[in-house]
A = this chain, B = another copy of it.
Amino acid sequence: MKKSSPTIRDVAAAAGVSVATVSKYMNGAQRFSAPVEARLKAAIEALGYRSNPLARSMITGKTRTIGLTVLDISNPHFTNIVKGANRVALQHDYTLLLVDTEENQARERPLIEALALRVDGLIVSSRMPDEASDWMLELNKPVVLLRRSPHLQIPSVGIDNHLATYMLARHLVNQGHRRVAYLGFGQARVNDERIRGARECLAEADLTLDVYDAHAPTAQAGERACSSVMLGPSRPDAVICYNDLIALGFMKEAASLGFGLPQDVSVTGIDNVPYGEYASPALTTVDIQSEKMGELAMQKLIEALAGKRESGYATFEPRLIVRESTIRRD
């Protein structure tokens, strides 16, 4: 059933040349005399020879593989990152070794360390704080982080979280909202930045921010958290959610609690996942260009692999997308 594949030696023998010649031919390294080339072509064809990438990698030290870790592939934000990264990788003849850490912090480091041994470079999304990320430098492989870490020695791509929530808060204040709540996800590294962004904007209007926590960055968690926000002692007239999934869950539950959306409460998310547009009311959010983030991260990594100087951190401009889930309140 499983006859083992032909090796370079089989081809060399069949074509009556040396293995070195076969190797050079496979790599297009030089030109050959017509008869040799013909025999080579024939032998390779006849044997169905394909060179073994493992053996090649052993010598060259390159695998043409990029490791990519995400916190949860089910989250469209990460899905889009993978999409973008995969596209650029394929263009450059790289393949993705994907690991979904499933929001399990304890597994992150060992998984990444194991991954590092099998790839040329890594793109990492992690909940580890910057201060605890030094070990990544010792992987001896180029790494690009999916976050904004300007002070780290590791290149990164991310967004300005402070600005994202600032923009949302500004939009809500401009629309006449006075009681704004933030439904966050405390485990995320960026949660505090997002709180500060909203708070700063509200403070300028002499308003304060009530902070709640959703315990997970998912729609289900948004559903569960809804009642304590909406049925608690200080009901908000607008809610900024940590991400679109939480917002989507929140809206669904708010509706089934009998609240009118967006009349009774405006809701916003962050990420601009594809399905916010198809919810109703369509979700107001901040586009953080997840797919482009994936593309850029991969581009930076491939540049690093090509020997270019590492390029520090890059951010995308968050862009407010106003849809129907936020409304003027007078």
Q: Which of A53-94 contact B (CB under 8 A)?
A: 53-55, 57-58, 63, 65, 73-74, 76, 79-80, 82-83, 86-87, 90
Is A13 engaged at the interface, CB distance under 8 Å to the other chain? no
Nearest CB on B from A275, distance (A): 4
Nearest CB on B from A44, distance (A): 14
Q: Which of A254-298 contact B (CB under 8 A)?
A: 255, 274-275, 277-280, 282
Q: Which residues of B contact A100 (CB under 8 A)?
A: 82-83, 86-87, 90
- Expressed in whole angstroms, the Cα–Cα distance for A57 and B140 within the complex equals 21
- Expressed in whole angstroms, the Cα–Cα distance for A65 and B97 within the complex equals 9
A: interface residue count bin: 35 or more
**Copies held by the complex:** 2
Which of A17-25, A178-186, A244-252, A314-322 has 4 or more CB atoms under 8 Å from chain B? Answer: A244-252
Residue from B4, B57, B83, B278 in contact with A275 in the complex, judged by beta carbons closer than 8 Å: B278
- Expressed in whole angstroms, the Cα–Cα distance for A280 and B252 within the complex equals 9
Q: Is the CB of A95 within 8 A of B86?
A: no
Q: Is the CB of B95 within 8 A of A97?
A: yes
- Expressed in whole angstroms, the Cα–Cα distance for A252 and B275 within the complex equals 11
Q: Is the CB of A275 within 8 A of B248?
A: yes
Is A105 engaged at the interface, CB distance under 8 Å to the other chain? no
> Chain B: which residue is nearest A57 at the CB level?
B54
**Chain A 44-58 per-residue mask, 1 if CB under 8 angstroms from chain B, else 0:** 000010101111011
Q: Can you list 10 A-B contacts with CB-CB less than 8 angstroms, sorted by A residue number?
A: A3-B140, A52-B117, A73-B79, A73-B82, A79-B79, A96-B99, A97-B97, A219-B274, A252-B278, A279-B280
Hey, which bits of chain A sit against chain B, CB under 8 A? 2-5, 48, 50, 52-55, 57-58, 63, 65, 73-74, 76, 79-80, 82-83, 86-87, 90, 95-100, 102, 111, 113, 115, 117-118, 138, 140, 219, 248-249, 251-252, 255, 274-275, 277-280, 282
Besides A76-B79, A96-B97, 15 more A-B contacts (Cβ < 8 Å) are A3-B140, A50-B113, A50-B117, A73-B79, A73-B83, A73-B86, A86-B100, A95-B99, A95-B115, A219-B277, A248-B278, A249-B278, A251-B278, A252-B277, A280-B280
